[in-house]
Amino acid sequence: MRVHEKHLRPTSSGASGQGKVASDQQGLNGAESLVRSLAAAGVDTYFANPGTTEMQLVAALDRIEGLRPVLCLFEGVATGAADGYARMTGRPAATLLHLGPGLANGLANLHNARRARSSIVNIVGDHATYHRSLDAPLTSDIEGIARPVSTFVRTVQDVGAAGHDAVRAVAAARSAPGVATLILPADLAWSSGAAVANPSQPVAPRDVDPERIAATAAALRNAVHPALLMSGTVLRRDSLTVASRIAAATGARLYCDFFSPRLERGIGLVPVRRLPYSSEQVTEELHGTDVLVLIETDPPVAFFAYPGKPSELAPPQTRLVRLAGPSENGSAALAALADLMGARAAAVRQSAGKSELPKGALTPALAGAVIAALLPESAIVVDEAVTSGMAVGPLCQAAAPHVWLSHTGGALGLGLPMSVGAAIACPERKTLCLVGDGSAMYTPQALWTQAREGLNVVTIVFSNRAYAILNYELQRIAASGGPAARSMLDLTRPEIKFTDLARGMGVEASRVDTAEAFAVELRAALAAPGPRLIELALG
């Protein structure tokens, strides 16, 4: 449910008139009040690409403690980094964006964040209230741009409301969860008379009706070939253990969405099979399933429509049973379901895979085997490797325990920025960013932020010198493509030199074409602090 409260005004210019304010903070300007209120509400990181209308917000960072500013050279990096930060901390980060065009530059990764249900607070500067009617070159409908990706949109209407509106935005981002966008006109940013609002508590996820839990238990008892399809918070270690006990009691198979926001997996954890990307493979995978229990997710659908092929992928005879929706407390519902069914068997856990390193000319599968063998415990893996990732992901199932962050919304350019946010959220852990060469060119500016912040990110570029996923899609839709069509998917004229690009942004880089060389470079990158990039020249 979107909240649009443009016309809500406080009762005076000196205080919000809605809820308590900190009485010792009177006299701040609007920007200072907003920044201090964000910090008081638990926001501690600010991914920023500011402009003129945000200079008061920039200046406030030197006067107000509590927010770490992180400069990003493109707004899509800022919004993608905020997504990665939220996925790893469970708390919202803020972005600072410049007017409508700046917000628009960040929309693709806000779309991805919305699909991941990541908590983000966008702070967007606007022209002064008296200047907007003049239709200056950067004037735009900021609220209209924000609304499709935001659960909460508000323009500050009075300087006294700036702090209160900031607190409301944070609460909205955490409660939905999702993207909240707060717009601050420049004159309200520099005007004095603001105050800091007390933080408000987010709304907890809704509990699932016990009758629905009982109905799910009955469906599972009567099923012959049941399965659980999961996403969201239930893909964490403890909930997966509960799911495994239910599987042991019912014979259910455990699946997760192909594009799940965060999955904990590896040796000693409960293995979950990701549904395939291909719609035909999903249909085949679920063939014979008579009951499919949905937990914090929706029924599987094809990523795109295809002529003569179904868009809904669950077999027609499959009964869909929703245990918990995306905004409900799936973890509690899963635990209650296990208790109701008396599911107390020991969980089935992932055993170790092969540890020997492969040899030969690099392929995605050989690269995945190297990564699986060398992946350090507690690593964070950001996956935007696209076609290559389809080979790498299954191999890493039997790697050391790690967190897998998937691309959720389909808009390319998330991998590199999300690795920035994940590494800032968890500086003590190694972050591996798996990215295709085509995807990497959407937001390469993230490498500069990695270098500036000294982040422990190892970027692995799968360089097949093509939009390989589109070659796959072209064959599915058009059967074959001629020279003009193929030229639109080719990345060789000229060839992109990722090592030069990375070094130009301050990141040490190397290029390898064999599994042996990749193992040497990956070991070195994992052992060293700071960012590294390894380009894989795939055969």
Say which CATH number the domain at 35 has: 3.40.50.970
- Residue 471 CB contacts under 8 Å (≥ 6 apart), including other chains: 486, 489
Phi, psi of 275 (to 5 degrees): -60, 145
- Does one domain contain both 17 and 84? yes
What's the pLDDT at 482? 80
Report d(CA 55, CA 8) in Å as an integer: 25
- In the predicted model, what is the mean pLDDT of residues 174-190? 96
Query: Quick one: which of 486, 383, 393, 502 has its CA closest to 441?
Result: 502
Q: Please name the residue ranges forming H helices in 397-497.
A: 415-425, 437-440, 446-453, 468-478, 483-487
Asked if the model's pLDDT at residue 27 lies above 80, the reply is no
* Token pair of 142 as six digits: 């900021």
Report d(CA 61, CA 67) in Å as an integer: 7
Report d(CA 516, CA 116) in Å as an integer: 36
Q: Which domain holds residue 268?
A: 210-341
- Does one domain contain both 186 and 215? no
- Does one domain contain both 375 and 337? no
- Does one domain contain both 181 and 214? no
Say which CATH number the domain at 243 has: 3.40.50.1220
- Does one domain contain both 161 and 255? no
- Does one domain contain both 335 and 444? no
The residue among 194, 228, 258 that closes a domain is 194
Terminal alpha carbon distance of the chain: 48
Strands 120-126 and 93-98, by their bridges, are: parallel
3-state secondary structure of 486: helix
Strands 192-194 and 28-29, by their bridges, are: antiparallel
What's the pLDDT at 10? 32
* pLDDT tens column, 117-171: 999 999 999 999 999 999 999 999 999 999 999 999 999 999 999 999 999 999 9
- Does one domain contain both 180 and 216? no
Secondary structure string (H, E, C) spanning 167-230: HHHHHHHHHCCCEEEEEEEHHHHHCEEECCECCCCCCCCECCCHHHHHHHHHHHHHCCCEEEEE
Report d(CA 53, CA 310) in Å as an integer: 49
Domain count across the chain: 3
* pLDDT tens column, 360-413: 999 999 999 999 999 999 999 999 998 898 899 999 999 999 999 999 999 999
The whole-model pTM stands at: 0.92
* Token pair of 260 as six digits: 């799940």
Sheet with 68-71, edge to edge strand ranges: 3-4, 152-155, 179-185, 120-126, 93-98, 45-49, 68-71
